[in-house]
Amino acid sequence: MRFKSFDLIPHGTKFDFVGKRHIAVALSLIVNAAVLLWAVPAIHGLNFGVDFAGGTEMEVKFGQPVDPGAIRKSIEDLGFKGASVQTYGAESENAFLIRVERIALMSDADVKRVVDAVQAKVPIQSWSFNPEIGDKIDFQFKQPPSPQELQAAVEGAGIGVREVRAEQGLVAGTRSFAVITQGIREKIEHDLATRFAEAKPDVRRVEYVGPAVGRELRNQGFKAVLYAIGLIVVYIGLRFDFRFSPGVVIAIVHDAIVTLGYFAFSGREFNLTSIAVILTVVGYSVNDTVVVYDRIRENHAKFKGKSLAEIVNLSINETLGRTFLTSFATALSLVGLLMYGVGTIFDFSAAMLVGIVSGTYSTWFIAAPMTIWLEELADKKKKSRAAPSAAAPAAPAGRAAQK
């Protein structure tokens, strides 16, 4: 049988992956540590999107060029500090992403000022303020004032009022009042529509997430990544051998952190979709590892005499082509998204690409050599326990290999 084929990666390579493992591990440790350090809020921190940080985000498209500085100024004039205005998509589209933080909308001092101002006009029976909501104070009065009076009193304290709402009181038959102080979205939208009237602003998308929800989503997202890693490790453990699991865990965590690195170092927004990418990378990056582990298992049964290091090297080299090509094919599918995706979808694709590359690297330089390191560790333990026993070194995955 004559057989011809064109190989992108030549077969029969004899690259010494195992020998390079010390350099690789050192490099990975440095990269991972850098990402984690960079992601620490005190040092630099991730650029949390509204999903996780809470706040308001608006995508506005104008009919003609507008200076982002002018937009920022007009928002600051409204009293919202720390607004960020970025161009969104291509420059020529005149689209902007406006973000306003909302956490601690009213500080305790603000609340106290409002309460004192109201107290000076009308005796308050009780009041309450929930910092999780942040823009609403509830009042109960013995002698209810008119909503207009109340609004005037609050505005007297220098706090803008969106609405005074009469609600049912705590005690049957009484009234209470909710004073709602701000409405970021309405104010900005109205302001843009009047100040930039000739540029025809079109508010295309608004996202508002309350601070409590943001925190909840963040915690859940972190947990979801941990659950996924845990479940995958259990699966790999059941399918192969639990001795393979540490290598898999380290490789997965490595890839998740490197993917996080995309968001940390680029300063791009970290949001719900970012969690989706990390989870997908976690699931996908194991694929390459599985291929190599499968081969290690196969070769281990085939070449009884060879050392584990030789077998691992051989296995990686034999599967080099497919490991590279599968990653390449998946990366190819992302090209369109990288070209045409804007904002979140671009970040999704770019981070996925980083994850795919990292997954391939970690398979070659981390996951596979890790089995050797673990084996050496197990050997040392065994030797220190039962000194000169002549037992042959246990093979990883001997169990499932004989079929």
Partner 1 sequence: MERSWYWRVALIVAVALFSLWQLVPSWFYFKLPPDQRSTEAYEHAVPGWAPTSQKHLNLGLDLQGGIHLAMGVDVERAVKAKVARRADEIAEYLKSKNVPAESVTTTAGGTRVAVKAADPKQVESSVLDSYDQEMYSPGVVDGAVTFAFKDTVLRDFQSKAVEQAEKTIRNRVDKWGVSEPDIKRKANNQIQIQLPGFKDPEKAKELLGRTAQLEFKITDDENPALDQLRGQLTPCATADGFRIPLPQGGCWSTESVELPNGTARAVTILAANTRPEIEKLIQEKATPLLDPQKNVVGIGEATVGQGPTRQQYYRTYLLRAKTELTGDYIADARAAIDQSQQFGQSGRPLVQFTMSVEGGRLMQKLTSENMRRRMATVLDDKVETAPYIQGEISTNGQITLGSGRNPQEMFEEANQIALVLKAGALPAPVTISEERTVGATLGPELVRRGTVAALIGLGLVLLFMVAYYRASGLVADVALVLNGLLVLAIMAMIGSTLTLPGIAGFVLTLGMAVDANVLINERIREELRAGRTIKQAVQQGYDKVFWTIVDSHVTTLVAALVLMNYGSGPVRGFAVTLAIGLVASMFTSIVVTRAFMEFFTRHETARLSV
Site for partner 1 in 1-60 (CB under 8 A): 1, 3, 5-6, 8, 11, 59
Amino acid (1-letter code) at residue 59 = E
Among the listed residues 13, 128, 194, 307, the single contact to partner 1 using CB under 8 A: 128
| Rounded Cα gap, residues 5 and 52, in angstroms | 50
* CA-based torsion, 362, 344, 328, 243: positive or negative: positive
Select the span of 73-81, 204-212, 300-308, 368-376 touching partner 1 (CB under 8 A).
204-212
Segment 140 to 199, residues that bind partner 1, using CB under 8 A: 165-174, 176, 178, 185-186
245 binds partner 1 (CB under 8 A): no
Question: Residue 111 is encoded by which pair of tokens?
Answer: 């609340």
Residue 355: CB minimum distance to partner 1, A: 11
Residue 309: CB minimum distance to partner 1, A: 22
| Residue partners of 154: CB distance under 8 A and separation at least 6 | 114, 117, 118, 161, 164, 179, 181
In sequence order, what are the beta bridge partners of 139? 127, 177
Concatenated DSSP letters for 186-250? HHHHHHHHHHTGGG--EEEEEEEE-HHHHHHHHHHHHHHHHHHHHHHHHHHHHHS-TTTHHHHHH
Residue 312: CB minimum distance to partner 1, A: 17
In the bound state with partner 1, the residue whose beta carbon lies nearer, of 46 and 356, is 356
Segment 220 to 239, residues that bind partner 1, using CB under 8 A: 220-221, 223-224, 227-228, 231-232, 235-236, 239
Question: Residue 395 is encoded by which pair of tokens?
Answer: 């093979």
In the bound state with partner 1, the residue whose beta carbon lies nearer, of 113 and 215, is 215
275 binds partner 1 (CB under 8 A): yes
Residue 18: CB minimum distance to partner 1, A: 21
Cβ–Cβ under 8 Å, residues 154 and 161 = yes
Among the listed residues 15, 242, 303, 340, the single contact to partner 1 using CB under 8 A: 340
Segment 57 to 86, residues that bind partner 1, using CB under 8 A: 59, 61
Segment 343 to 382, residues that bind partner 1, using CB under 8 A: 344-345, 348-349, 352
Angle, in degrees to the nearest 10, between helices 368-385 and 308-318: 170
